[in-house]
Amino acid sequence: MKFKGTVALFGLLLVLGGWVYWTDIRGREGRERAAEEAALAFPADYESIRRIRLVYPDRSIEGVRIDDGWEFVDPPGLEADPSAWDLLASNVPRIVREETIVSEPTDLETFGLDSPGIELAVELDDGREEEIIFGRENPGGTHYYAKLASSDEIFLAPSSWISTVTKEVNDLRDKSVLRFEQDSIDRIEISGVANVALSLEEDWSIVTPIEWPADLAEVNTFLGTVGFARATGFAGEDLTDADLGLDMPRLRIVLHDKVSDGDRVLLIGGQPDNEPDRYFAKDASRDTVFIVEGNIVETSEQPIFEWRDKTIADFDRPRVTAVRFEREGDNFVLAMGGEGWELPDQRPARLETISLMFNAVEFERATAIVDAPGPLGGYGLDPPRLRVVFEADGEELLAFGFGNDTADGDELYWKSETETQVKVVSKDVFDRFDVTAEDLLDTDALAAP
């Protein structure tokens, strides 16, 4: 009997707990949600908003939702920024009325609502229209007086909403300067102060003014700079191409799109008055003239060396079975043995030191390239002060030499025997190879039992 009583009591507690949950916790949540919805000026699903009109004392702006974004109605003919209009549309249903000031008709002038500073009107998919007007600030400066056109009630709206619905036309204009998919571009031509052409086959390469592999990171940076460029402003419609420097542009950038087999053309003209770091720019397929930051110009007009692949040398690292060092009075060979790298007398060599040598050639970059060098003796390369050969079972994979220091002493000349060019590399590269056989001895492995 005692057990049955305990069970009954436990069941009663469960029932009471459920009642408390549904009436208090869930009920409170429901009441709070209902209160939040009741505080909204005009609750609606923002995706159902198909038209927005903003009216200010000195201007008006109106846009309508279309299949793939938004379109300007007022002023007409401008390209709309879909993300900016979507953000505005998503904020409209969230405007809050915090406190009712007047419920009955009254003198609107008292609250600055007879000639409102902002009128915001929306039209929904179902044809329903709603309008909210904002008057002057309250004495505390924390809220604005506001009123729905469909109601006599005057309420307070937080001041933060004023900045949300205060827009200039340019805030809602499309600011994308040149539209393209970076992966679709297979040719770049830059004409003007610099004349450069690059082409993508298996890899990017420079075709003008020299033929040379291109620096992939540099190409991607350039395409990213152009593709992600956004206007900081727009040129006045009363200005001509001559006024903007677009009749004889400073730069003409042509990107060939392999998917559409068409060109994306960007023209860079002159600079706005008092804006030395900005330029007028125009997509040749559109009428709008943008004002853009100068980073496009800086990237486009950089020296040809910056476009070049600065890799010191390519070699098949896994194939290397021997490294030959040759210099006056000290020649030796490292070879891959059964237990790893070995010195000429089969003592173990330091794997990490040899790896750093390979890394230096593979990952360090030339800081300058001499395309038409004079006599190699002038660079200390005939003969070099140190000659190194990477071999694969007796076959030379890569042979190169280190020459004299450059004038500043921080770098030195380097040359692969299969190239005509002389490169300038960091002395850190030389330091990796400037070793004796004893320097490479792995004393830890030698001491191991």
pLDDT in tens, the chain (449 residues): 454 556 556 555 565 655 555 555 555 555 445 445 567 877 788 889 999 999 999 999 999 999 889 999 999 999 999 999 999 999 999 888 888 888 887 789 999 999 999 999 999 999 999 999 999 999 989 999 999 988 889 999 999 889 899 999 999 999 999 999 999 999 999 999 889 999 999 999 999 999 999 999 999 999 999 999 999 999 988 899 999 999 999 999 999 999 999 999 999 999 999 899 999 999 999 999 999 999 999 999 999 999 999 999 999 999 999 999 999 888 999 999 888 999 999 999 999 999 999 999 999 999 999 999 999 999 999 999 999 999 999 899 999 999 999 998 889 999 999 999 999 999 999 999 999 999 999 988 776 66
The dihedrals phi and psi of 252, each to the nearest 5 degrees, come to -125, 115
Looking at the DSSP bridge assignments, the partners of residue 146 are: 134, 155
Instruction: Find out whether 360 and 287 touch, Cβ atoms under 8 Å.
Output: no
Find the helix or strand (DSSP H, E) in which 424 lies.
strand 422-426
Structure tokens at 293: 């930051």
Report how far residue 187's alpha carbon sits from residue 180's, in angstroms, rounded to the nearest whole number: 13
pLDDT the model gives residue 44: 80
Closest listed residue to residue 185, CA positions, set 233, 245, 123, 253? 253
The residues with which 322 forms a beta bridge, in sequence order, are: 335, 391
Position 1 scores a pLDDT of 46
325/423 Cα distance (integer angstroms): 20
Per-residue confidence (pLDDT) for residue 426, from 0 to 100: 96
Burial class (CB in 10 A: 0-12, 13-18, 19+), 374: exposed
Q: Which of 410, 414, 420 is nearest to 386 (CA)?
A: 414
CA dihedral 311, 315, 320, 325 (to 10 degrees): -60
Nearest in space to 347 (alpha carbons), one of 441, 435, 439, 436: 441
Give the pLDDT of residue 431.
96
Identify the residue whose tokens are 């102060």. Answer: 193
Q: Quick one: 383 exposed, middle or buried, by C-beta within 10 A (0-12, 13-18, 19+)?
A: middle
Distance CA 412, CA 384 (A): 11
Q: Give the tokens for residue 398.
A: 């890569």
Token reading at 82: 């879909």
Edge-to-edge strands, sheet with 322-326:
340-342, 332-337, 322-326, 386-392, 395-405, 411-416, 422-426, 368-370
pLDDT value of residue 34: 44
**Shortest CA distance to 90 belongs to which of 49, 40, 129, 36?**
49
C-beta of residue 263 within 8 angstroms of C-beta of residue 255: yes
3-class SS of residue 389: strand
The residues with which 401 forms a beta bridge, in sequence order, are 387, 415
For the chain, helix (H) and strand (E) counts, in that order, are: 11, 25
Cα(147)–Cα(293) distance, integer angstroms? 42
Cβ contacts of residue 281 below 8 Å, gap of 6+?
177, 229, 231, 266, 267, 268, 269, 289, 290, 291, 292, 296
Paired with 334 in beta bridges are: 323
* Residue keyed to tokens 């969230």: 94
Kindly report the backbone phi and psi dihedral angles of residue 284, in degrees, each rounded to the nearest multiple of 5, phi listed first.
Answer: -60, -20
